[in-house]
Amino acid sequence: MIVAVTGFKGGVGKTTTAVHLACFLAERGPTLLVDGDPNRSATGWHRRGGLPVTVVDERVAARYAREHAHVVIDTQARPTEEDLRALAKGVDLLVLPTTPDALALEALLATLEALRGAEARFRVLLTMVPPPPSRDGEEARALLGAEGVPLFAGWVRRAAAFPKAALLGVPVYRVPDPRARLAWGDYARVGEELLREVAG
């Protein structure tokens, strides 16, 4: 299975999503995380602690891909429209993370416009969703649903455990924080949904 995590806006949890989907898939088979972001955020995450996946940059990915059951690509932020459409043709699913704020949703809609006519399989993932009483997550879901945008049923909560995980260089489930397991549960549910989507 090949999955790419991408979008036209930085700061929406792209690398966090790529890292955690890769860690989820690693529980089911050897997984390669391809760091295609010039910032090398996923590589830095791995170097600081260690992830249960193989992490390489895009220049050597082809050499490693055959040895892995799953490949997750963390793309550069703001890919060109041409790059985005080419990427869509080469993967089983594009995952498009977005936070539930107006600027991020605007960038997401630009991404969707770029994919129009590309016959891309994709799903939008709401990330960094604030807890109640905020209704940002529900409102964003309703807005995107009304536009017919394919969404993951689950979303990922805003949690202090995620920046801690990046700092420690580990998956969020290894963070010594009582809420870290809940945060991991969000990605595990999304991962299960991803498996069903690709299999279907």
Mean pLDDT, 10 residues at a time, the chain of 200 residues: 92 96 98 95 96 95 94 90 89 96 91 85 97 95 94 96 98 95 98 94
Please, what's the b/e burial string for 95-132 (b: 16 or more CB within 10 A of its CB; e: otherwise)?
bbbbbbeeebbebbbebbebbeebebebbbbbbbbeee
How much is the pLDDT for 77? 82
User: Residue 73's CB: how many other CB atoms inside 10 A?
Assistant: 25
How much is the pLDDT for 2? 97
Pairwise CA distance, residues 6 & 78, whole Å? 8
Q: Which helix H or strand E contains 95, and what residues bound it?
A: strand 93-98
How much is the pLDDT for 188? 98
0.85 exceeded by the pTM?
yes
- Domain formed by 2-195, architecture: 3-Layer(aba) Sandwich (3.40)
